[in-house]
Amino acid sequence: MRLALVSMPWSSMSRPSAALGALAAFVKAREPRFDVETVHAYMHVARELPTDVYSRISGDCYRLGELIYLAILTPRKREAVVSFIAGAIGLTGDAVSEIVDIVARDVQRQAEYLASAFDVVGFTTCFGQLFANIAVCTAVKALAPKTVTILGGSTVSARVGPSILGEYPCVDFIVQGEGELPLLGLLHDIESGGAAEQVPGVLSRANAANRPNGVELHEVGALDELPIPLYDDYAQLAAELGVAWAIPVEGSRGCWWDRVKETNNPKNTCYFCNLNVQWRGYREKSVERVVREVDVLTTRYANCRLFFLDNIIRHRGVEELGRGLVDLEKDLHIFYEMRANVRPHQLLLLWEAGVRQVQFGIEALSSSLLKRIGKGTTVIQNLEAMKTCRELQIVNDANLIVNFPGTTAAEIRETVENIDSYASSYQPLGITVFYLGVGSTTDRLRDEFGITNVRNGDHYRIGLPDDVWERLHLLDLSYDRAQSDPEWSAMVDACERWRELHTAVGRDESPLQYEDGGTFLRIRDRRKNHVDHVLRGGGRMLYLFCAQIRSRNQIIAAGGERDPDQIRLIDAFLGEMIEKRLMYREGEKFLSLAVAPNPQSAARRIRAAQRHEEQVANERPSPAARRELPVIMGDQPGSTRQ
């Protein structure tokens, strides 16, 4: 059997499709007699389009990318699509029309190759690829009706899958959830001439009508049992095109914060997220397996750039992973998704391993709004994560969500205050607009969030016939609000001020930075006015002690036994730091906001704090640990403004 696994636009040109690499390795390992080829078709379109144009469409692939292929599928809608895209990305109608022509030629070229060379063609459907896949399936069936076509991936999850099968006869089967076991079972059934009606995890035209919400997922038992992915076809193509690329690494599937399927409580996750509808729950590979996979892949492809696919930083073994990657003694450059519960010493270990770019799930800088969206983290945790990234010079591609249903004007004001007064010292965050996705908490609890008139995304209507738009169930939804939303412009303006501040200060300095002179600490504040604060004695020690989140009890205990007068002095100092916006307070927790002048200084401070915590936990504080910790003792806390 000849099998092609295909990834259409609009994936990133700088990464191979992880789905194709994983599935190809699995099928080859289980059935070496099957001839498997991975086709990274998006690379050909990316080569023909100007780089900036491909990047802009890729960045808005669920809207612009899908519409381009709808213009091919529905020619009478082409003019409306061209006009919409031209306005969205600032090109002329003629320029957009040429893009559509380039893509249409590629559809035919891909279809001719696939129809002539393969018995089965499977398409991954994730990054704005649904209608690209349908366009190619349509063309393949016109050329070779007996070629079997399969769609898989997150975009055809849940009720989307049966809907697609009911509308598009060019698609034979849909794999829902992870693809390894369902795809292999489907291939065996196709080979034997079966109807594939009973293959777990697979939708067919025969069974879809009885499964309007999709099929039960069919997952592998332990992720360590999976073979290491194969990216040979992509690596060869990238070399031919001169593309620098990052190797996808999968350390886990799902999200441990998402416990919806385990508890049957739709609020046991982030309320805005539907990234995990294709999993039954969270699973992770062992640390040993992840480290071995990194070692094998970097050696195989002579490439040290890695992109971790995990939706969230692993639940267990973060420190062990960091140490394991360090022990490889390779110059790794790693991207990783993070959650703000990661502590500074854990992030330091990952930095030492090669983490240079992250995306923390910040989402909000309002305590109330973080609760409203079910994030499970707090503002002080977000600030600590942002601060540690800035100190270690880790790029943090985090965002703030706007337009979340039910957000109050007070939450927006709180966010603006926290940006201007506390977060502005760190890398500015981006803004992402809330969207309603199938299977998210907001989708399942529409009444509670004041969501009405839910429908397929309005942008799809530009390229779909009205009757098809009404019949289909698509992953991206539009909706109306039962009540008007507050004005978000103040938050947008605050983010713009944030960016302007960092442009004015420059890349090499933070707007709020300290220099430790051993007996004094100079804090340089460039946020609004150029003001220096000099802390000496106990003030210096206290400020450095709170360089990571500390409770009031920890602060007092760090200085040993104290009488009420000494405790009042500490409280007065903390109050002064908060008034000057040099510290942030959340309940009984405190965080010093100024950043270290360089990663080496930050690393030294973080290691000392961790050694002390380990000694305290073991109730055996050594003299060395006591010397390293900036304990609050000696001189009374105090500061001098200069």
Q: For the segment 428-437, what is each residue's pLDDT rounded down to a tens digit?
A: 999 999 999 9
List, in order, residues 6 or more apart from 345 with CB less than 8 Å away: 319, 606, 607, 609, 610
Range with the lowest mean pLDDT among 73-87, 164-178, 628-642? 628-642
CA of residue 633 relative to chain centroid, distance: 43
CB 346 within 8 A of CB 318: yes
Does the structure show a pLDDT above 90 at 204?
Answer: yes
Window from 39-43, 204-208, 320-324, 346-350 with minimum mean pLDDT? 204-208
Give percent of the chain with pLDDT exceeding 70: 95
Instruction: Determine the average pLDDT of the residues in 63-72.
Output: 97
Match 């999993």 to its residue by tokens: 279
pLDDT of residue 637: 53
Between residues 194 and 640, which one has the greater pLDDT? 194
Task: Determine contact, residues 278/217, Cβ cutoff 8 Å.
Answer: yes
> What is the percent of the chain where pLDDT is above 90?
88
Residue 633: the pLDDT is 38
pLDDT of residue 482: 87
CA distance 305 to 372: 37
Confidence of residue 621 (pLDDT cuts 50, 70, 90): low
Query: What's the order of all strands across the beta sheet hosting 520-525?
Result: 512-516, 520-525, 531-536, 639-641
What was the pLDDT predicted at 636?
47
Q: Which two tokens stand for residue 250?
A: 């999968």
Residue bearing the bigger pLDDT, 623 or 529 = 529
- Measured distance CA(431)–CA(605) in Å, rounded: 32
Lowest mean pLDDT segment, chosen from 90-94, 345-349, 565-569: 565-569
As a whole number, mean pLDDT of residues 81-97 equals 96
**pLDDT over threshold 80, residue 197:** no
For the segment 108-117, the average pLDDT, to the nearest whole number, is 98
What average pLDDT does the segment 399-422 reach? 97
Average pLDDT value for residue range 579-588: 97
pLDDT in tens, 350-371: 999 999 999 999 999 999 999 9
Q: Identify which of 125, 194, 196, 122 has the alpha carbon closest to the alpha carbon of residue 163.
A: 125
Over range 24-29, report the average pLDDT.
98
d(CA 467, CA 81): 17
CB-CB contact of 486 with 176 (8 Å): no
Q: Find how far residue 475's CA is from the centre of its chain.
A: 18
Q: What is the residue type of 545?
A: F
DSSP state of 215: P
- Read off the pLDDT band of 631 (50, 70, 90): very low
Contact at 8 Å (CB) between 587 and 580?
A: no
Average pLDDT for 211-239:
96
Question: Is the pTM value of this prediction over 0.85?
Answer: yes
Structure-model confidence comparison of residues 196 and 502, the more confident one: 502
398, 430 contact by CB (below 8 A): yes
Query: Which pLDDT does position 641 carry in this prediction?
Result: 57
- Determine the average pLDDT of the residues in 243-265: 96
Torsions phi, psi for 219 (to 5 deg): -115, 155
More confident residue, 197 or 620: 197
CB 321 within 8 A of CB 290: yes
The three-class DSSP label of residue 8 is coil
Closest CA to 133 of 260, 5, 320, 264: 5
SS3 state of residue 38: strand
Homologous superfamily of domain range 246-505:
tm_1862 like domain (3.80.30.20)
Integer angstrom CA distances of residue 77 from 80, 130, 474:
6, 17, 19
- With contact defined as beta carbons under 8 Å apart, do 438 and 158 qualify? yes
The amino acid at residue 146 is: K
pLDDT confidence of residue 106? 98
pLDDT at 634: 40
pLDDT digits (tens, 9 = 90+) for 595-616: 999 999 999 999 999 998 888 7
**Residue 620's pLDDT is what?**
56
* Exposure of 315 in the CB half-sphere (CA atoms within 13 A): 13
Q: What is the C-alpha separation between 550 and 541, in angstroms, rounded?
A: 13
Q: Which two tokens mark 86? A: 């031209």
Q: What pLDDT score does 483 carry?
A: 86
Per DSSP, helices labelled H in 424-535 are 441-444, 460-463, 466-471, 489-505
Amino acid 618: pLDDT: 80
- pLDDT over 90 (residue 507): no
Q: What is the pLDDT of residue 109?
A: 97
Mean pLDDT over all residues of the chain? 94
Burial of 437 (0-12, 13-18, 19+ CB in 10 A): buried
Instruction: Provide the 3-class DSSP secondary structure of residue 316.
Output: coil
Predicted local confidence at residue 209, as pLDDT: 86
- List the domain boundaries for the chain: 2-223, 246-505, 512-641
Interval 459-482 mean pLDDT: 96
- Are 592 and 383 within 8 A, CB to CB? no
